[in-house]
Amino acid sequence: MTNHITHWIDGKLWTGKAARTGEVYNPATGKLSGTVDFASTADMDEAVAVAKRAGAEWAATSLSKRVTTMFAFREILNARKEELAAIITAEHGKVLSDALGEVMRGQEVVEFACGIPHLLKGGYSESVSTGVDVYSIRQPLGVVGIISPFNFPAMVPMWFFPIAIAAGNSVIVKPSEKDPSAQNFIAQMWKDAGLPDGVFNVVHGDKEAVDRILTHPDIKAVSFVGSTPIAKYIYETGTAHGKRIQALGGAKNHMVVLPDADLDLAADSAVNAGFGSAGERCMAISALVAVGPIADDLISKIEDRMGKIVTGDGTRGTDMGPLVTGVHRDKVKGYIDTGVAEGAKVVVDGRDVVPDSDGEGYFIGPTLFDNVTKDMTIYKEEIFGPVLSVVRADTYEEALKLINDHPYGNGTAIFTNDGGAARRFQNEVEVGMIGINVPIPVPMAYFSFGGWKASLFGDTHAHGTEGVHFFTRGKVVTSRWLDPSHGGLNLGFPTNG
């Protein structure tokens, strides 16, 4: 018995017949769990028309009423977070505790968006000229699109839609076709919270659905998260069609360990950040740069800790789950083969892991490489699996250069007890999010999330005040209420007076 996963449009499940569908699997068992409808261009047009109509009313709804809905949604999400986590684990494979963590990080953005009245407040200058006042306001854009990756099926859309909706927009979410169910569950929660039908819509699909989002004249802005080649495509196509775009791409996050660092903390952090969610996090640490003589000690501490990781079905209290699909598992395995062939030393080999699971899940155990160099494929490319590469460097400068020469610039971390070195690093490194003795520096909801270089296309990062800015347009009003002596004609350019 498999699930049929279809679109959520206008506050209900779609009743049409999809011309194309995709398959959804449980990655821990390899069993088919569902089929998901893929939207055609016409199906997407239907959803956009609904969102446009509903969005116009929602934008005219008072801030107080919008905020009441936001608070109600927050309460329902909080009450049902375990159910949502179980849905994520069943389709993504990450362990339940990690899935719950994802929901809670998304919930933080909902909580941030509950404060939207304060965030939308404009400025007011009285008497800029005689009898003239100026004030600024921010207004919603209309219909906005959110296209999300498989690795955070709940959290990544939640980086965007709470703020978009609170600000008065209507939303079309196009989830990853690999784990589509989480957004349908969220759609029901919005309905239960009292959000008017048609403000939050979920349209499933692949390139055809995405392309229609990018070209539809009534979609005003698109938030995308996914791999770098697709992010670049989204940015170029969307902006060519006059849309506001933020497209977050891939990553290769370096963790630098200086000789004075606490090596136990560094080893714990490298393992947690390297292998959590089987390395399928855009903020995962995938390159560890060991500076100076500490490399052997650090590697042996990491190896010890890796020996304790239990890989298996995420519903069984294991530490690390499977990769998302068989294709992705094979791709990661191929990277490990290439690493060996190109001369890296495999310290721990996850290819033959015996997982705690039933069936034919897509498992690879935690893998550690030493003596990785910057010309190797496993260093240059994003692997997106449980593979940690140690690169040895002699100096801080060499470590910094490695990071700054790398095309990606999402996150990075430095481990040291030297405040001066850490301060220099935060200033000199060309990366958007930096951890100091913190391995996965995902900003809190009231700051903004985003990388540099090939990790983000567009100007605006996700959530925080940048998110509010992205989902609204500014207006400045110059107003004068005439008194009887209005001053007569003057064709000169307006100046203060």
Residues identified as active-site: 282
**Which C-beta is closer to ligand NAD: that of 5 or that of 230?**
230
* Residue 239, CA distances (Å) to 147, 242, 304, 327, 470 in order: 15, 5, 49, 32, 14
Given 230, 257, 258, 429, the residue binding ligand NAD (CB under 6 A)? 230
Residue closer to ligand NAD, measured from CB, 149 or 350: 149
Residue with tokens 């995709």: 22
Helix (H) or strand (E) run with residue 348 in it: strand 345-348
For Cα atoms 438, 412, 285, give the angle at the middle one, nearest 5 degrees: 80
Residue 475 CB, nearest distance to ligand NAD (Å)? 30
User: Is 210 an interacting residue with respect to ligand NAD (CB under 6 A)?
Assistant: yes
Angle, in degrees to the nearest 10, between helices 419-428 and 396-405:
20
**Closest distance between ligand NAD and the C-beta of residue 106, in Å?**
13
Q: Which residue is nearest to ligand NAD (CB)?
A: 226
For ligand NAD, how many residues bind (rule: CB under 6 A)? 27
Q: Tell me the three state secondary structure of residue 409.
A: strand
CA separation (Å) from 425 to 88, 354, 388?
A: 36, 40, 22
Specify the residue, 198 or 238, whose C-beta has the smaller distance to ligand NAD: 238
Footprint of ligand NAD on 379-418 (CB under 6 A): 382, 384, 410
Question: What is d(CA 134, CA 477) in angstroms, rounded to the nearest whole number?
Answer: 6
DSSP code string of 194-222: TPPTTSEEE---SHHHHHHHHH-TTEEEE
Cβ(200)–Cβ(190) below 8 Å: yes
Residue 420 vs residues 70, 414, 426: alpha-carbon distances, Å: 43, 12, 10
Is residue 25 a contact point for ligand NAD (CB under 6 A)? no
Residues 166-195 that bind ligand NAD (CB under 6 A): 174, 176-177
Stretch that binds ligand NAD, among 245-253, 364-372, 433-441, 472-480 (CB under 6 A): 245-253
State yes or no: residue 160 binds ligand NAD (CB under 6 A).
Answer: no
Which range of residues in 226-234, 330-338, 397-405, 420-428 is near ligand NAD by CB under 6 A? 226-234
Kindly tell me which residue out of 148, 416, 448, 460 binds ligand NAD, with binding defined by CB under 6 A.
148
Q: How far apart are CA 115 and CA 103, in angstroms?
A: 19
Whether the CB-CB separation of 81 and 154 falls below 8 Å is answered with: no
Site for ligand NAD in 282-301 (CB under 6 A): 282
Residue from 181, 325, 367, 455 touching ligand NAD (CB under 6 A): that is: 455
Kindly write out the interface string for residues 251-270 of this chain, putting x where it contacts ligand NAD by CB under 6 A and - elsewhere.
x-------------------
Q: Is residue 369 within the footprint of ligand NAD (CB under 6 A)?
A: no
Q: What is the binding site for ligand NAD (CB under 6 A)? A: 147-152, 156, 174, 176-177, 206-207, 210, 225-227, 230, 248-251, 282, 382, 384, 410, 451, 455
